[in-house]
């Protein structure tokens, strides 16, 4: 994931405590990432008592809340998780669904209606990068980003120039301190061990930095292919 497009934030902004989200809105809730990772992660958070806010899923599919709940159950079970009914019932009670085209302003009106009066919404965009600007524009025009935060999934551009162009587009609608770029693969244990190896060995720490390392390429073997996700690449 390219992160160099962003300008460093002032220390006061970086260190300032963030307000706890009072609603979590997921664009692309019917997609592969939600099926493979997001639903199971939400279930585990619910299981640990760490979820405290409503969850609104948004996608193009003409689904009902019950459709979303059924899809979530199947996704969680497919991850090998044993579903505890009281836990799933609590999670399902949090989840609602809003459908619509991401280019239609009525979609964002439905989202606004679904989330109600909130102070600190978090919008998680599990969608292709070419839709980032369109969705953030729609949210902003609906008045939903004034106190909100936006999380965008990888890839954020395919090189430095495209990442900067994407950042410039997004900055038309929200501030940099409202934008969070995420790459869920950076949370994998093997990648975390690279940082540990660097910090635990002074000989590596002196040379494994931006002055000596031009790029880092990580290849991870997976048991599935691109399938129907070609538009992401």
Tens of pLDDT, residue by residue over 2-21, are: 444 444 444 334 444 468 88
CATH number at residue 44: 3.40.50.720
In a domain, 203, yes or no: no
In a domain, 231, yes or no: no
Residue 158 has a pLDDT of 86
Mean pLDDT confidence for 191-207: 87
In a domain, 232, yes or no: no
Q: Residue 80: which domain range?
A: 19-185
End-to-end CA distance of the chain: 13
Task: Look at residues 149, 152, 104 and name the one whose alpha carbon lies nearest to residue 129.
Answer: 152
Mean pLDDT confidence for 169-193: 88
Helix intervals (H) in 16-84: 32-33, 39-47, 65-78
Mean pLDDT score of the chain: 87
Higher pLDDT, 215 or 180: 180
Percent of the chain that is helix, strand, coil (3-state, to 5): 45, 10, 40
In a domain, 201, yes or no: no
Question: Would the pLDDT of 60 be above 60?
Answer: yes
In a domain, 38, yes or no: yes
Q: What's the alpha-carbon Rg for the chain, to the nearest Å? A: 19
Residue 157 has a pLDDT of 86
Question: Would the pLDDT of 100 be above 60?
Answer: yes
> DSSP character for 37?
I
Residue 18 has a pLDDT of 62
CA distance 83 to 70: 13
Higher pLDDT, 161 or 13: 161
Residue with tokens 């009914």: 85
In a domain, 223, yes or no: no
**pTM higher than 0.85, yes or no?**
no
Helix axes 132-141, 160-170, angle to 10 degrees: 10
Question: Would the pLDDT of 57 be above 90?
Answer: yes
Both tokens assigned to 222: 């997976």
Higher pLDDT, 17 or 96: 96
Residue 155: asked if its preceding bond is cis (omega within 30°), the reply is yes
Cβ(163)–Cβ(4) below 8 Å: yes
In a domain, 109, yes or no: yes
CA distance 91 to 72: 10
Mean pLDDT confidence for 210-223: 80
Question: Residue 51 CB: number of other CB atoms within 10 A?
Answer: 17
In total, how many domains does the chain have?
1
In a domain, 168, yes or no: yes
């Amino acid at each position: 994931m390219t992160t160099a497009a962003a300008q460093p934030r002032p220390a006061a902004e970086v260190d300032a405590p963030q307000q706890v989200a009072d609603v979590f809105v997921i664009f692309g809730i019917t997609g592969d990432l939600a099926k493979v990772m997001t639903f199971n992660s939400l279930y585990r958070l619910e299981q640990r008592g760490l979820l405290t806010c409503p969850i609104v899923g948004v996608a193009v599919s003409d689904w009902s809340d019950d459709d979303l709940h059924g899809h979530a159950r199947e996704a969680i079970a497919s991850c090998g998780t044993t579903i505890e009914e009281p836990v799933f019932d609590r999670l399902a009670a949090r989840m609602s669904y809003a459908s619509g085209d991401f280019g239609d302003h009525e979609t964002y009106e439905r989202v606004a209606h679904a989330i109600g009066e909130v102070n600190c919404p978090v919008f998680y965009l599990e969608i292709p990068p070419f839709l980032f600007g369109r969705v953030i524009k729609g949210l902003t025009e609906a008045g939903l980003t004034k106190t909100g935060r936006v999380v965008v999934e990888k890839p954020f551009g395919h090189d430095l120039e495209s990442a900067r162009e994407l950042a410039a587009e997004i900055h038309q609608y929200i501030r940099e301190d409202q934008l969070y770029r995420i790459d869920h693969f950076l949370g994998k244990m093997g990648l975390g061990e690279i940082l540990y190896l660097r910090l635990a060995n002074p000989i590596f720490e002196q040379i494994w930095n931006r002055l000596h390392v031009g790029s880092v390429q990580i290849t991870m073997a997976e048991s599935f292919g691109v399938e129907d996700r070609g538009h992401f690449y």
